[in-house]
Each structure stands twice: as structure tokens, then as C-alpha cells.
Amino acid sequence: MSEIDRRSALMLGVATMGTALAAANPSVAQPYGRDEGKELAPGVRLVEVSEREAMHGRDSVLPAYKRIKVVDIVFQPKITHKDDAMRNDMVCQCIDGEMRLDHRDGHPFTVRKNDVWTCVKGEPEDTENIGSGAAIMRVINLIPA
């Protein structure tokens, strides 16, 4: 299996697992206070969830990644946030709310609770909370070795 195939299989597996867990346990989405976490911009906060070394065994499908880091990004209503370049590959999931995303590729899309998508290192992403309450984006960062 080629590295691209392995990466695609991994991202699909992580995304499917996250969606299944969220659907089975609606309490996965954590309500955060307005001041919880680190402010990235007015109305946008980053809350660290978990971090660990990537597992590397004889048959590992993740040899390119050293660490996995999970964060939640909380967007207050009607906030727009622009990121010019993803710092690494990642799998994202909307765990609460509704957001419009644009990777500046001519194909903007809307995500709602439990939707998943992927981002590639270097890719831009513009995010707008289009709901009436806070929106939470769970980001599973795949940090290179």
C-alpha cells in the first residue's frame, strides 16, 4: 500500500470513528466558557484537549507522524476567522453548531454537528460561524516526525 493510500485510509478511519463516537455519545461536545482556553482572535478560542506520541509498530500506517494533538476551536456567533496556511495535516469535526468553510479552492462548504473534513498542510481555511450559538471545531492535528 502506498503512503498516500495509507494516509487516506487513516484519515477516513479517524473521521469515521469520531463521527460514530459523537453519534453514540452526544455528550462528546463540551460547552466552554467565553474565557476558556487561549484567545486566537476576538471571538475565537483554542482549548487543548489531548496530546500523545503517535503509535509506531511494525505495521504502522502512520510512520510520517510523530505526535497527535487534539484541540477544540470555539467560534462565537457570526465570527469569521481566516487562516492562511494549515500548520500540518489534520482531520476536523464540527462537534457543535454550524460553520461555513472555504479552502479558497472555489468550493466552499457548510458543516453541521458531527460532519468531518480534512485539511492539508499549507492549505488556507476561512471559517465563519453561521449559527446562532457558539460553534466548536474539533481538530485532530497529525504532527510530522
Provide φ and ψ at 108, rounded to 5°: -65, 155
Mark residue 22 as left, alpha or beta (left: phi above 0; alpha: psi -120 to 50; beta: remaining).
alpha
> What's the average model confidence in pLDDT over 63-80?
93
Q: List, in sequence order, the alpha helices (H) in the chain.
A: 3-24
Note the pTM of the prediction, 2 decimals.
Answer: 0.77
Secondary structure (DSSP) of 108-124: -EEEETT-EEEE-TT--
> What's the average model confidence in pLDDT over 96-105?
97
pLDDT tens figures, 118-132? 999 999 999 999 999
Is the predicted pLDDT of residue 85 greater than 90, yes or no? Answer: yes
Q: pLDDT-based confidence at 77, cuts 50/70/90? A: very high
Q: What percent of the chain has pLDDT over 70?
A: 75
CA 30 to each of CA 36, 47, 82, 119: distance values in angstroms, whole numbers, following the listed order: 11, 10, 24, 23
